[in-house]
Structure 1
């Protein structure tokens, strides 16, 4: 906002001396020099008028002051030592009586110096407003990426007030701070007025998009969210003081971001319906066209987590993928098979990647996306092992390249399951934790020290567990044939309801076998 008259009067290089009270909040929009008896036809209000008093007389002082007050000038600067040695007593009395701010301008201070000082203040304020507005809009954009709630919270913080996001019916969706919810009922009439005007004049530019209110509790602005005749929602903000132009620009940016989030409801509905169908095991229908990746697809299990999501946001291939952040910090990406190489290249920059086999039917309960995720996670576990063993950069491993896939694929799942359960039953009934110890022992090719490190236990503890497992199983764990049978049994039990996969299954954290 423009500098206040108090700020201008306080500039030490000007030497201005207030002769009357300078009211708080009075701003100076410009400086005008005039020796006319009536300068008001050439003023707009808000100016600091400068004069030497050439046309000011004792008899005309009252009329002169009244004209300036009626015009709404910020104040009057009277130069002494030019025409008048002092400010005329009549002019001072009228200024005090009528409430006109009066400043004495000393003889050494030229009017041009006052004009230049105010101009610099205006330029600095304008630049500051532009900078603050630009920075605020960048912060709002970042917040909008996280959803409307963070956007509303950031907007309230930028304005130093409160903000409400209401849906089309007027219900509060988000409020910052939370106590701002109590203001929603008082806005119902304004929302209804905006609805009526938008529906009767739906074309852009014809219907008002906002209303401004002022009252004892401050100043409120309500804006419509959405285009066309039917609003998708409303944004209301409130502050103690009227919003300056820069703040209006910030609110406008927030409305634009919210509108972008709400102007594709059809796509969001199709996406939600398609994903819901997949969760129910239903095949994707025509409504999912252009929303879900086109089969065949692969699932990538990525160690990079959020970094992978950020990379997909910046690449056109990301628009054809669906990415989900998993609880353990990793992420899964459903990607069209034709783009698998490109997306894998993006993901491997942030960590190892496991790649599933192609999936032709997204909704298949046995060979669909859930099974592909298991494959990708198994491949990711193996990719960690490869990287640890070779000290190589971030690697990519496909499920089809895991050892033993050809053999396991030949087994009948039902018969293999019975064999596996029978073989491992003594361990499960005695101590289920022995299964994990056995798995780590086999994964380390019988190297007890490496397996112990993977489990986080002492090597003697692992040795004791393996002796117990050998006793319960009645098998010699040093026999390669026995280890092969146990490896197959673990692979089968890792995939009890789907095709048999790689031994060891997916784990919440990759093993750290050296």
Structure 2
């Protein structure tokens, strides 16, 4: 709101006084200095007019006041001590009679000081309005994240009135407060005007909003949607006409509701594709084929830090490459299906979010993955992530895991049968731990003995016994390789073979 005349008159540095009584709260829209006998052709109304009375006489004072009152000025400031030592009695009498507020401006106060003071007050009010509108938009945006109902509730409270969200047919979707539903029937005839479309490309533009004034109530209705056919309507009602700031707030609400109603084509395609996967139907149709990433793809597993899974999603949304990814938050981790060609770009987006495990490429060239086809890739990404966490690495590819290239091609069932057969006699004699340490030390007895905490002669005795049981020499590189594979397979549970190591990898959280 602009500053009031009473607020301007109260500024102590100006020393203004009012011989016509206490100044009212009439808004002052601007300050105009004029010595014309009739300045009204150059006024719009709402100004504080300043004059020294150069053209005012006893005979024209009443007419001068009448013209100012008719134009709707906020008040008249009269500078004394320049032309007139005091406000002329005829002017004062006419002002009192016609309801014009007079302010006496002391001789030492230049008119420009009053103009600057009002300008500063207008700027402060403008800044406050902008700040209020910005804060309101932030509140509406936060509310919109919880759905249109929460947004409508917040809007009504910001305006100090009521709000209605109607669908395209005019039925109430959300009302705040609940009694606002009663306005829907009265608005029904008006909605038809907002539904009309232009008769041709060069026709009259379709109406986007309308305003209604009822006794004690001011209503504004806006259509929601970008196309020729509205997707809904937003109606708000207040006891007073909406100021410009409130119109800005309503416009922000309409924009947010439009964004929610105008589902992007890519999101529609994605939902269609996901439905195809869930229904185990082909995803190669006009929608599914464009939404599902086509092979080859990689699966990334990320363990975000303090930012949580939201930090991963925010990072993906910061770059167009993220739009072609399919993220799946689960617990403290996020799995992401990424086209192979964008894998490194997406990994760089996640830099600083948390460690990342990357699977090898999966899927056939140009073909969307079939349901369940990426489960092995997810497991490998999880294994790489677990290893990255243990090694404190920002990113680790599954192919870079020690020995994983060999283990990855083994058939789990056959490999487990081989490991059980090879290690069973060692376990029976409780020699498997010593042999494993010897193999991991690459046949270095001193290193293995230290790892076991035994004397090297003790380990040598155990290894001679192990050789007798196996019927093979553990110092033979081929024998040690078979033992390494057996221990690697035995270190895992279930139906998969993961990275071998002294410590058991963390169980995957997404798979």
| TM value normalised by structure 1 | 0.70
Shift of 1:280: 1.8
Shift of 1:70: 1.8
Shift of 1:120: 3.0
| CA 1:194–1:481: 2 relative to 1, 3 Å | closer
CA distance in 1, matches of 2:382, 2:166: 42
| CA 1:219–1:415: 2 relative to 1, 3 Å | farther
Correspondence for 1:282: 281
| CA 1:364–1:217: 2 relative to 1, 3 Å | farther
CA distance in 2, matches of 1:30, 1:481: 88
> Within 5 A, what are the aligned runs for 1:421-440?
none
Q: Which whole-Å deviations, capped at 9, do the CAs of 1:361-420 have from their partners, x for residues lacking one?
A: 655344x244543443344334323x2xxxx34232427847678557544769989x99
Correspondence for 2:271: 272
Correspondence for 1:472: none
Aligned-residue RMSD, C-alpha: 4.3
Q: Is the 8 A contact 1:194 1:208 kept in 2?
A: yes
Q: Within the alignment, does 1:491 sit opposite 2:494 as a pair?
A: yes
| CA 1:485–1:86: 2 relative to 1, 3 Å | closer
Q: Is the 8 A contact 1:80 1:105 kept in 2?
A: yes
Correspondence for 1:222: 221
| CA 1:265–1:481: 2 relative to 1, 3 Å | closer
Q: Is the 8 A contact 1:375 1:399 kept in 2?
A: no
Correspondence for 1:424: none
Shift of 1:9: 1.0
CA distance in 2, matches of 1:505, 1:203: 66
CA distance in 1, matches of 2:488, 2:31: 93
Q: Is the 8 A contact 1:194 1:224 kept in 2?
A: yes
Shift of 1:284: 1.2
More deviation, 179-188/113-122: 179-188
| CA 1:401–1:174: 2 relative to 1, 3 Å | farther
- Out of 301, 307, 312, the residue aligned to residue 308 of structure 1 is 312
Q: Is the 8 A contact 2:300 2:381 kept in 1?
A: yes
Q: Is the 8 A contact 1:282 1:363 kept in 2?
A: no
Q: Is the 8 A contact 2:360 2:397 kept in 1?
A: no
Q: Within the alignment, does 1:377 sit opposite 2:377 as a pair?
A: no
CA distance in 1, matches of 2:408, 2:494: 8
CA distance in 1, matches of 2:336, 2:253: 31
Correspondence for 1:355: 358
CA distance in 1, matches of 2:311, 2:226: 34
More deviation, 67-76/290-299: 290-299
CA distance in 2, matches of 1:485, 1:257: 55
Correspondence for 2:429: none
- Out of 346, 364, 367, the residue aligned to residue 370 of structure 2 is 364
CA distance in 1, matches of 2:486, 2:295: 41
| CA 1:346–1:131: 2 relative to 1, 3 Å | same
Q: Is the 8 A contact 2:15 2:106 kept in 1?
A: yes
Shift of 1:86: 4.3
Shift of 1:303: 0.7
- Residue 350 of structure 2 aligns to a residue in which SS? helix
Shift of 1:30: 1.9
CA distance in 2, matches of 1:374, 1:482: 20
Q: Which whole-Å deviations, capped at 9, do the CAs of 1:407-451 have from their partners, x for residues lacking one?
A: 57544769989x99xxxxxxxxxxxxxxxxxxxx9xx99xxxxxx
CA distance in 2, matches of 1:413, 1:204: 73
> Within 5 A, what are the aligned runs for 1:26-425?
26-56=26-56, 60-130=60-130, 133=133, 163-173=163-173, 184=184, 186-196=186-196, 198=197, 200=199, 206-215=205-214, 218-286=217-285, 287-304=287-304, 305-326=309-330, 328-360=331-363, 362=368, 364-366=370-372, 368-385=373-390, 387=391, 392-398=392-398, 401=401, 406=406, 410-411=410-411
Shift of 1:94: 4.2
- Residue 343 of structure 1 aligns to a residue in which SS? helix
| CA 1:396–1:241: 2 relative to 1, 3 Å | farther
Q: Which whole-Å deviations, capped at 9, do the CAs of 1:46-99 have from their partners, x for residues lacking one?
A: 111223345545565544333222211111223344455544555445434433
